[in-house]
């Protein structure tokens, strides 16, 4: 029996997506990958390095759209594996709950989050990964930093569009509010 996922018309073409982006908010997931010690303490935070559209190098969190008829859990796993590789082994709970909701606007300054392409709403999660991770897709590097290193002002400044603010919120949620 076919599902909605089997129908090509369930997906938007590039032109249709551009049209929708100008009219309605788009749902995203954002993930802060972490390594966790046996006692539950977060030992490191993973940050990607990508070249921006302008050619500058920027640190980023993992983020991407939720597809039509896709569960949030499946979208998280898909984006984590796309950026960290198929052996990342993310530990996404059966019923994930975001640590925050980030609302990105095309107009700078409305919130700390900015996306010039669209109004986007990102459900943001902290996700432990247990496996081997390597930068994939268009990521150039993956750095594992201690929570203290991840919270350094200089590093947060390398993160555009509000990803630094989102990382700061994740660190505070993990109990690293002094960063």
Structural domains counted in the chain: 1
Structure tokens at 25: 């908010």
Please state, in angstroms and as integers, the Cα–Cα distance from residue 17 to each residue in 23, 26, 63, 113, following that order.
10, 10, 17, 21
pLDDT tens-place string over residues 118-130: 999 999 999 999 9
Among 17-21, 89-93, 122-126, whose mean pLDDT is lowest? 17-21
pLDDT at 178: 56
Using a cut of 0.85, tell me whether the model's pTM lies above it: yes
Domain span at residue 129? 22-174
Does the residue 6 lie in any domain? no
Does the residue 170 lie in any domain? yes
pLDDT tens-place string over residues 20-56: 888 899 999 999 999 999 999 999 999 999 988 788 8
pLDDT tens-place string over residues 127-159: 999 999 999 888 899 999 999 999 998 888 889
CB-based contacts of 164: which residues, under 8 Å, 6+ apart?
Answer: 155, 156, 157, 158
What is the domain-level CATH number for residue 164?
3.90.79.10
Does the residue 58 lie in any domain? yes
pLDDT at 10 over 60: no
């Amino acid at each position: 029996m076919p599902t909605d996922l089997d129908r090509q018309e369930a997906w938007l073409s590039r032109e249709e997506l551009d049209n929708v982006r100008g009219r309605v908010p788009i749902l995203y997931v954002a993930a802060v990958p972490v390594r966790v010690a046996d006692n539950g303490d977060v030992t490191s935070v993973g940050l990607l390095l990508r070249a921006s559209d302008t050619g500058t190098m920027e640190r980023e969190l993992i983020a991407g759209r939720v597809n039509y008829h896709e569960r949030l859990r499946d979208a998280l796993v898909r984006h984590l594996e796309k950026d960290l590789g198929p052996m990342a082994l993310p530990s996404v709970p059966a019923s994930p709950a975001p640590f925050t909701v980030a609302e990105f606007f095309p107009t700078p300054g409305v919130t700390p989050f900015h996306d010039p392409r669209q109004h986007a709403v990102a459900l943001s999660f902290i996700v432990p990964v247990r496996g081997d991770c390597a930068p994939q897709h268009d990521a150039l590097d993956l750095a594992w930093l201690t929570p203290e290193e991840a919270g350094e002002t200089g590093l947060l400044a390398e993160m555009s569009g509000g990803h630094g603010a989102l990382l700061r919120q994740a660190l505070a949620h993990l109990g690293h509010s002094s960063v």
